[in-house]
Amino acid sequence: MMIECAPPVCTAATRREFLAILAATGLLSGCAGDTTGAPGGATSRRIEHPLGVTDVPVAPARVVAIDRRGTLPHLLALGIEPVGALTHESIIGSQFPGVVADLARDVTVLPTAGSSDEVRLEAVAALQPDLLLGWTDGIADQYDALSRIAPTVAVDIDVHDAEPSLRAIAAAVGRDQRADTIIGEFDALRAQRIAALGEIGTVSAVLGVGDQIRVYRPQASSVTRWLQDAGGRIVPDTTGLAGEPYRDLFVTVGPELLGEVNGDTLIVMANSGADGEAALNALSGNPLWSGLPAVRAGRVIRLNSQESVGYFGYQGYATVLDSLAGQWAALAP
């Protein structure tokens, strides 16, 4: 049995609006700019980051993203096309996220050595970079070697909130003001779209992982935060839910507890690829599925999990916002 929910809206109207905003403010032009914190005439700026202190070029021209998470989309949103990047394929099943694939056509995919986060140093050096950006945990073991190739800055990627990593990357490339514009313009667009949903009521959000179910808390993803900020209430209260809690983000429960998911509206998160589809089928095939209040009322929405977190940056946020608003408008009253 397949999940009976409205299909994701593919018009990408919100994404077009958001990208138009970026274009109008020069954020997709790739032009030089900002260089926040650089004294007049200086050629470098000192950046503190999780692995040390690095002197970086004021206006880096050959940036390499050693990260399979949010760095590439953030750089593109800031108007910088990196010369190389690690592929996202092991996480999402495609070389680069679809929402930025067109802008990343000329980005060289870096070969890996060992793990998916360990890059071949000779391939990095061949690109003649003037700045390397990488996920802190992913580059920790290679940090010294990478720093001998080019100035290297580590970035903590918060997959549950894109803003901290965007700001850290903007600081490294001297485009803090552009980050402010991206965040501010998107927040205004989000507020407008979420306000149009009307009264939110109670909402549950789940993600199937194999035959297990992650029951989201309000801070687990952008979508649950947006809905709670707009007056919705994320249910159930997971503090008394038998399962395996993960920080303050979600509780993983067995399939026998699906009946606890009692929101008036149900957000079903789905990962990309065959595993994600299999988890969706396991969820909808659960005998308790048809008894859920949201399923009985025809109020089920399916969203891409990775777009709702930090992997696809604000471009992903714009796409998932568009899908959320479109599907919500089509729900039964």
Q: How far apart are CA 79 and CA 27, in angstroms?
A: 5
Looking at residue 240, its pLDDT comes to 84
- Residue range 1-14, pLDDT digits in tens: 445 444 444 344 45
**How does the average pLDDT of the chain come out, rounded?**
87
Both tokens of 267, joined, read 């957000």
Looking at residue 38, its pLDDT comes to 58
Q: How far apart are CA 333 and CA 210, in angstroms?
A: 32
Looking at residue 116, its pLDDT comes to 84
- Residue range 92-148, pLDDT digits in tens: 666 677 777 788 889 999 998 888 889 999 999 999 999 999 999 999 999 999 999
Q: What is the mean pLDDT of residues 8-29?
A: 48
Q: What is the mean pLDDT of residues 151-176?
A: 93
pLDDT above 90 as % of the chain: 66
Q: How far apart are CA 19 and CA 298, in angstroms?
A: 32
- Residue range 142-152, pLDDT digits in tens: 999 999 999 99
- Residue range 40-99, pLDDT digits in tens: 668 999 999 999 999 999 999 999 999 888 899 999 999 999 999 987 666 666 667 777
Q: How far apart are CA 54 and CA 247, in angstroms?
A: 31
CB 303 within 8 A of CB 320: yes
Looking at residue 314, its pLDDT comes to 93
pLDDT beyond 90 at 330: yes
Both tokens of 64, joined, read 């390499």
Closest C-alpha among 205, 287, 215 to residue 253: 215
Q: What is the mean pLDDT of residues 159-182?
A: 94
Q: What is the mean pLDDT of residues 297-304?
A: 95
Looking at residue 27, its pLDDT comes to 46
**Burial call 280-294: b when 16+ CB within 10 Å, e when fewer:** bebbbebeebeebeb
Which pTM value belongs to this model?
A: 0.83
The pLDDT-based confidence of 24 (bands split at 50, 70, 90) is very low
DSSP states of 215-242: EEPTTSSHHHHHHHHTT-EE-S-GGG--
Looking at residue 25, its pLDDT comes to 42
Task: Write down the residue that tokens 């940036």 correspond to.
Answer: 63
pLDDT beyond 50 at 286: yes
Q: How far apart are CA 63 and CA 78, in angstroms?
A: 12
